[in-house]
Amino acid sequence: MHVVVIGAGEVGTSIAASLASDHEVVVVDIDSDRAEQLKYELDVLTIAGDGTTSEIQTAAEVGRADMVIACTDDDQTNLVACGTAKTLGDGFTIARVKSTDFLRTWEGNEGAFGVDFMVCTDLLTAENIVRVIGLPAAVDVDPFAGGLVQMAEFEIAEGSPVAGQTVSEADRFESLTFVGLFRDDEMTIPRGDTDIMVGDRAVVIGSPESVQSFATDVAPQTTPDHADEIVVVGGSEIGYQTARLLEERDFKPRLIEQDPDRARWLAENLPNTVVMEHDATDTEFLAREHVDEADIVVTALRSDEKNLLISVLAKRLGVDRVIAVVDSPDYVTVFEEIGIDIAINPRTVTAEEITRFTYESVAENIAVLENDQAEVLELELTEGCGLVGRPISEIVADTDVRFVIGAITRNHTLVTPRGDTVLQAGDHVILLVESDAIGAITSMA
């Protein structure tokens, strides 16, 4: 495909890096220094200029583009860029926005703004938060095969019962498969005798029930196996959307917001949320409101520094699990290194969602892991493809591609893969593969 990416910030760079090996990618950015730098970093064609103009888009050959992705930090710029692209060609347009108002307008008017697919950063981030809230100790969760299969990533903490065990000792569930271990920024395909160590991130695929059971096993004893008491700090759009989604799942969260007008609006629009108007950095207030008894605290203020401060306060008060929204990707490791359980970066979440969508022509679903080191794909096998009619052990032996099949669904029923399992046409295969081998594995299917 010929893909034009408008915006070379964190999101655009991540998308371009994911697509560059398999597609013809052109990146447009108004900052000439950034465009020049990216040209050598990713070995892609870059153009410096205003990506909303027909002149620059013509130079990027938008007229023959299969896909145009507008992902700058400015909503209006992205919408105008997509509108311009539609005047030059019929490529599929994707716009990144923060405003849910734009999202609602687009959802109510097909083709509005010249956008074919819209990604709302704040809503995506809230959805990501709510998914991990439901699974103890998980840092990432994604459903596959219409909910029959779940992928989850867990960080092995000090005190985890599985730390020091081998994979075969930890894998006590019939419909669960260990598919990957990340250690020191390297991915390992685990074997039965692979040791699980503190600090590892383990990726498992299986039925939601088996993943839930494993989550209880992997979590330290102090981790709650449920999340009845949830406190959201910050009534930003992300904080509001998180509380709203929790309400939809029958939770009754508490939300702390300092601004009186915003707090009033939140109280009016969140009927099952207790909204408290106060400064969340006030430790006496936090103690008085028994925030220390919360199962989970989510910090969703508009400032990374304040989110860091409140996350640390929550941990010192004794909160078992803290999830922080971190706007700057550079700060994510800082949060994690000081003991914050999960740091979610909206830009990373957005880039992963757009990357996921670009692979829809070859995969039913996709999840991006560990800054695009590996990906979990759902592939539907068709009659005559290279995988059908062969046992998994034979397929693995005949290829140099590093991948692991974690689950198979057949006729809407989960099949746990084994070496002698023969793949059939119509199977949905959920597998983990190194990111640079996606093209090789999808060509086999």
* Alpha helices by DSSP H, 43-194: 54-59, 75-88, 100-108, 121-133, 167-170
Give, in order, the Cα–Cα distances in Å from 197 to each of 105, 139, 249, 373: 48, 17, 34, 20
What CATH architecture does domain 350-444 belong to? 2-Layer Sandwich (3.30)
* pLDDT tens by residue, 211-254: 999 998 888 765 555 678 999 999 999 999 999 999 999 999 99
**How many separate helices (H) and strands (E) can be counted in the chain?**
16, 22
* CA–CA distance, 221 with 188 (Å, rounded to integer): 27
* CA–CA distance, 67 with 26 (Å, rounded to integer): 11
pLDDT at 222: 58
pLDDT at 223: 58
pLDDT at 305: 96
CATH number of 126-218: 3.30.70.1450
CB 190 within 8 A of CB 139: no
* pLDDT tens by residue, 122-164: 999 999 999 999 887 899 999 999 999 999 999 998 889 999 9
Smallest CA-to-CA distance from 9 within 84, 77, 66 is with 77
Give, in order, the Cα–Cα distances in Å from 157 to each of 67, 161, 339: 41, 9, 10
CB 353 within 8 A of CB 245: no
Write down the mean pLDDT value for the chain.
93
* pLDDT tens by residue, 302-347: 999 999 999 999 999 999 899 999 999 889 989 989 999 999 999 9
CB 147 within 8 A of CB 208: yes
- How confident is the model over 362-376, as a mean pLDDT? 88
Which of 55-64, 222-231, 262-271, 308-317 is least confident? 222-231
pLDDT for 185 beyond 90: no
CB 216 within 8 A of CB 173: no
pLDDT tier for residue 36 given thresholds of 50, 70 and 90: very high
Cβ-based neighbours of 148, under 8 Å, separated by 6 or more: 207, 409, 412, 413, 414
What SS3 state is found at 101? helix
pLDDT at 221: 60
Smallest CA-to-CA distance from 70 within 107, 144, 121 is with 121
- How confident is the model over 171-185, as a mean pLDDT? 91
Give, in order, the Cα–Cα distances in Å from 8 to each of 34, 58, 217, 415: 7, 18, 42, 42
pLDDT at 225: 54
pLDDT at 110: 82
Q: Where are the domains of the chain?
A: 2-115, 126-218, 230-347, 350-444
Question: Quick one: residue 244, left, alpha or beta (phi over 0 = left, psi -120 to 50 = alpha)?
Answer: alpha
Domain 126-218 and domain 350-444 have a common topology: yes
DSSP H or E run through 244: helix 237-248
pLDDT for 437 beyond 90: no
Cβ-based neighbours of 11, under 8 Å, separated by 6 or more: 71, 96, 347, 350, 351, 354
Cβ-based neighbours of 277, under 8 Å, separated by 6 or more: 257, 258, 259, 260, 263
* pLDDT tens by residue, 99-119: 999 999 999 998 899 999 999
- How confident is the model over 95-100, as a mean pLDDT? 96
The amino acid sitting at 351 is A
Question: Quick one: residue 372, left, alpha or beta (phi over 0 = left, psi -120 to 50 = alpha)?
Answer: left
Checking DSSP bridges between strand 201-206 and strand 176-183, what pairing results, if any?
Answer: antiparallel
Smallest CA-to-CA distance from 177 within 160, 164, 189, 165 is with 189
What SS3 state is found at 430? strand
Residue 380 phi, psi (nearest 5): -95, 120
Give domain 2-115's CATH number out of 3.40.50.720, 1.20.1070.10, 3.30.160.160, 3.30.70.60: 3.40.50.720
Name the maximum alpha-carbon separation found in the chain. 67
Give domain 230-347's CATH number out of 3.40.190.10, 3.50.4.10, 3.40.50.720, 3.90.1150.10: 3.40.50.720
